[in-house]
Amino acid sequence: MEAKQLILKARHVTVAGHISPDGDVIGSMLGLGFALASMGKEYVLVLPDNVPASLKFVPGVEQIVEKPKKLAATDLIVALDTSDPKRLGSVYHDNLDLFQSVPVVNIDHHITNNFVATSVILDSSAAATAEQIVDLLHEMSVPIDPTTALCLLVGIVSDTQCFRTANTTSRTLEIAVSLIERGAPLSWIVDCLYKALPVSKLSLWGNALSDIRLSGGIVWTCITQEALHRCNASGEETEGLVDVLAGVKEAEVAALFKEVPGGSVKVSLRSSGKADVARLASDFKGGGHPRAAGFSLECSLDEAQELVIRSVNRLLAES
């Protein structure tokens, strides 16, 4: 059965998002949630992590159940912006029986998608999952009210970094226009997302940027646990730093290495287009898009840098 039929048929829908939630997954979850409410359906929104403080401005965000223990009975699970069930974290691992027994719809735009579900809507040409939700609501003839439009525009603005990424298409802009026409306040959203720099974040970035390295076509830097403590910054305040590195003129690939407690390193990669970093990320069991991808390594910061810089060099030589 198709996704829209599954949604139209369900009375109670569980909408799930991915670990390290971003503006796209939160905007998409809330946008779909408000639409489900207007269709007279019961729903619950669940995340395996906390909503970052920077996204608390999105209307309805208090409805999101963070790190639920066990999911309640439901007719349908909808996993958003999630390329792999593992990206649902504990929401998936602690509810395997439920995932086996009810239909699952996956709506995603990552080219590395390998989600096996009852119905998968995969559109790697969509700049954001929120864009896909707009299409789905149109297909189901569900009207989009101003609050729903706002949430969905948050998803599009944040995944395209304000309509600047390479996957921003004329279709993305058309959908954004339709949301603005339905009452979504674009400049307010942009202010909420981008005029919101805490000093701790800037001092962390300053620290990391003063230690920037460039070799071959790669620019990179690291965030240590020690720097996070010293700057009084939270782990989520590294969000966006790799995109600053991606603006470096001399580099084809930008990398950010973030030390995680417990002995692992989170690697975020950006490419100016020559090298496909999604390919490299999938070699390391991660995922993403050709120009933006990430993965984790169980090793020290030094080892991670050595391994990744070598792999990126090889990738650049091949492309």
The residues of the shown chain that bind Mn ion, judged by CB under 5 A, are 24, 81, 129, 159
How many angstroms separate the CA atoms of 54 and 242, rounded?
A: 17
In which element (H, E) is residue 12 found?
A: strand 12-16
Residue number with CB closer to Mn ion (29 or 245): 29
In which element (H, E) is residue 47 found?
A: strand 42-47
Q: How far is CA 166 from each of CA 83, 159, 256, 279, rounded to the nearest angstrom? A: 20, 11, 20, 17
Residue number with CB closer to Mn ion (126 or 312): 126
Residue number with CB closer to Mn ion (81 or 259): 81
Residue number with CB closer to Mn ion (159 or 252): 159
The two beta strands, 76-80 and 12-16, are parallel
Total Cβ atoms within 10 A of residue 56: 11
How many angstroms separate the CA atoms of 144 and 150, rounded?
A: 10
What are the residues whose beta carbons fall under 8 Å from the beta carbon of 35, sequence distance 6 or more? 133, 137, 142, 144, 148
Residue number with CB closer to Mn ion (128 or 315): 128
Q: How far is the CB of 109 from Mn ion (least distance, A)?
A: 6
Q: How far is the CB of 43 from Mn ion (least distance, A)?
A: 20
What tokens does 262 get? 């417990």
Residue number with CB closer to Mn ion (147 or 172): 172
Q: How far is the CB of 164 from Mn ion (least distance, A)?
A: 15
Helix, strand or coil, per DSSP, at residue 309: helix
What tokens does 308 get? 């990744």
Q: How far is the CB of 129 from Mn ion (least distance, A)?
A: 5
Residue number with CB closer to Mn ion (123 or 145): 123
Q: How far is the CB of 241 from Mn ion (least distance, A)?
A: 18
Q: How far is the CB of 264 from Mn ion (least distance, A)?
A: 23
Overall size of the chain counted in residues:
319
Closest CB to Mn ion: residue number: 24
Q: How far is the CB of 11 from Mn ion (least distance, A)?
A: 28
Strand order in the sheet with 264-271: 213-215, 218-223, 253-260, 264-271, 292-297, 287-289
